[in-house]
Structure 1
Amino acid sequence: MSVTLGPHTSPSDQPRSFKNFDQGLFQVHAKPPRKSEAPLIFDIGVNHGEDSEFYLAKGFRVVGIEANPILCAKLQERFENEIASGQYNLLNIGIWSEEKELEFYHNLDNDHWSSFDREYGCRNDTKFEILNIKCTTIDRLLSDFGTPHYMKIDVEGADRIILKQLQHVSARPNFISVEEYGFQAIVHLRELGYRFFYVAPQNDKSWAVPPNPAREGLYVERAFTGVDSGLFGAELPGSWMNFEEALRHFLTHVRAADGSFLTTGEWYDVHARISDPQLD
């Protein structure tokens, strides 16, 4: 299971679910997981909390990672009860290739674009401010919290960094998703041992109708939009693709090999799984 923390705010301003780094380490107010507890999800890139809300409603334990301290303050209020019960751990920190403090480009026009990567955080000549945010590594988080059932990764510019770090850990989540960054996302997931793939549109969510009975956690009626990630894991509709099928589909429907987009007004997440979907 995974986590993130480390804000730009003062200790008194921080959500109760995390503390400052101490000599490169961090502490989280969380009860040690028991085998009887619900499975864990990592929501890496919480933003306004739409995905965390869905996972919590389905009964999962959730670790939410959000580098933006301004959003974290709002998330603390939104999920006050879930944080108090221990179901939700909200962690204000970035994930990078090493534990260090980095400049975070907080986009003032579109907070979805905020990033540690200047190219992402300052795109299209939008307004931004620079915050200094502490970062940790994904392997450190996995070491401290264990392996999640599902890991959602949506962190502008750092998705591939997290996948690269996962090469150095032996236990990986059965289900994982990343915001696509070209066909390389599928290649990198395969290199991690993922065998089956699903390319999910993120603007048009007409495909994302929660199944009843549920195949992941509890049934939750939900109408998804372009600001959330949609369904995940065993609840994704239709068929999963093997590597060759997924690569061919991506290169003919999402982006060409040179990176140029093949559609307008749409963006995609790539889901991957280790287990055979026929065993669901």
Structure 2
Amino acid sequence: MRRLYREFILPGDLVFDIGAHLGDRSSAFAALGARVVALEPQPQLLPWLRWLTRHQPGIECLPQAVGRAPGNAELALSQRNPTVASLDARWRKHLRATAAGFRHVRWEDSVTVTVTTMDELIRQYGRPGFCKIDVEGFEVEVLAGLSQPLPALSFEFVNGTLEQAVKCLDELERLGRHEFNVIAGEQRRFIWSSWQDPEALRQWLYTGADGIASGDIYARLTA
């Protein structure tokens, strides 16, 4: 994981980890010498995140979600699948109908969480050199709360809701010109040997993303 992120992160860089979960990415960022702001709104997971990253003083953990505007929101929780807690009801309903891996997921609980924005985080901490976004269908809302381009970032996509990834691409194009690459699932290597322009990525998404069930799209600013 450190080899993967070394391309984007230098010692002393600021990194945002939005949807940090248990902090494996935050730990990798910190190991590269980055200052990390890790956001995890799930109250059951936040103590674990803090405990697991307790020996890395460069990581600051915040009990917040991120969206297009500050306020409060209802986070749906799955007791059996805590990695898929989501603020987006339409995303949850659509995935249960279109993705086999989600058909048996139940979001039986919810909790009210505080929502901040990317712009507010930048006001407080500075502009990050890299930002990881993994928020179970809320990625568009996170990017909608950003008014300036970042040097590089990643956001999750799930087959069955690829239109969400297209909307993320639209939000990034609003901010500047980027090039893109993709990692399938939890692999540590890009699927393309060269970075692609927005039109190529959009066409790839429109034609089914090669059937990849889920993964992360990486964007780096070119202009």
TM-score, with length taken from structure 1:
0.64
Equivalent position SS for 2:44: helix
Structure 1 segment 32-181 matched on structure 2, within 5 A: 38-82=12-56, 85=57, 87-120=58-91, 123=96, 124=103, 126-166=106-146, 169-170=147-148, 172-180=149-157, 181=164
1:240 CA displacement: 0.6
1:189–1:113 Cα change, 3 Å: same
Cα distance in 2 for residues equivalent to 1:53 and 1:113: 21
Distance 1:99 1:182, change over 3 A: closer
Deviations 1:117-136 (A, max 9, x none): 23456754514211121112
1:237, distance to aligned residue in structure 2 (A)? 7.2
1:154 Cα shift?
A: 0.8
1:271 aligns to 2:222 (yes or no): no
User: Would you tell me which structure has more helix in proportion to its own residues?
Assistant: 2
Query: 225, 232, 238: which is aligned to 2:193?
Result: 238
Superposed CA deviations along residues 6-42 of structure 1, whole A, max 9, x for unmatched, are: xxxxxxxxxxxxxxxxxxxxxxxxxxxxxxx710111
State the alpha-carbon separation in 2 of the partners of residues 274 and 250 from structure 1.
20
* CA positional deviation for 1:50: 1.5
Structure 2: unaligned runs, 5 residues or longer: 1-10, 97-102, 158-163
**CA deviation after TM superposition for structure 1 residue 275, in Å:** 3.2
Is the Cα contact below 8 Å between 2:19 and 2:65 reproduced in 1? no
Alpha-carbon separation, structure 2, partners of 1:270 and 1:55: 18
Verify: 1:251 aligned to 2:199, yes or no: no
Residue 205 of structure 2 aligns with an amino acid whose one-letter code is: F
| Distance of aligned partners of 1:75 and 1:163 in 2 relative to their CA distance in 1, 3 Å threshold | same
| Rg (Cα) greater in structure | 1
Identity rate, percent: 25
Contact preservation (8 Å) 1:177, 1:271: yes
Secondary structure of 1:70's counterpart equals coil
C-alpha distance in 1 between matches for 2:133 and 2:65: 12
SS in 2 for 1:271: strand
| In structure 1, C-alpha distance between the alignment counterparts of 2:106 and 2:171, rounded to whole Å | 31
Aligned-partner Cα distance in 2 for 1:80–1:136: 24
Identify if the C-alpha distance between structure 1 residues 143 and 252 changes in structure 2 by more than 3 Å, giving closer, same or farther.
same
Q: Is the Cα–Cα contact under 8 Å of residues 97 and 161 in structure 1 kept in the other structure?
A: yes
What CA distance in whole angstroms lies between the structure 2 residues aligned with 1:101 and 1:248?
36
Q: Compute the displacement of 1:253 (Å).
A: 4.8
Instruction: Assess if the C-alpha contact under 8 Å between 1:42 and 1:62 holds in 2.
Output: yes
SS in 2 for 1:132: strand
Instruction: Look up the match of 1:193.
Output: 176
How many pairs align? Answer: 199
Measured in 1, the distance between the counterparts of 2:44 and 2:91 equals 18
Instruction: Map residues 222-233 of structure 1 onto 2, 5 A cutoff.
Output: none
Equivalence for 1:11? none
Which structure shows the higher strand fraction?
2
Q: Secondary structure at the match of 2:136?
A: coil
The structure-2 alpha-carbon separation of the partners of 1:127 and 1:115, relative to structure 1 and needing over 3 Å to count, comes to closer
> Gaps spanning 5+ residues in structure 1: where?
1-36, 210-230, 255-261
Query: TM-score of the superposition, structure 2-length normalised?
Result: 0.79
Structure 2 letter corresponding to 1:130: S
CA gap of 1:67–1:55, structure 2 versus 1, over 3 A, is: same
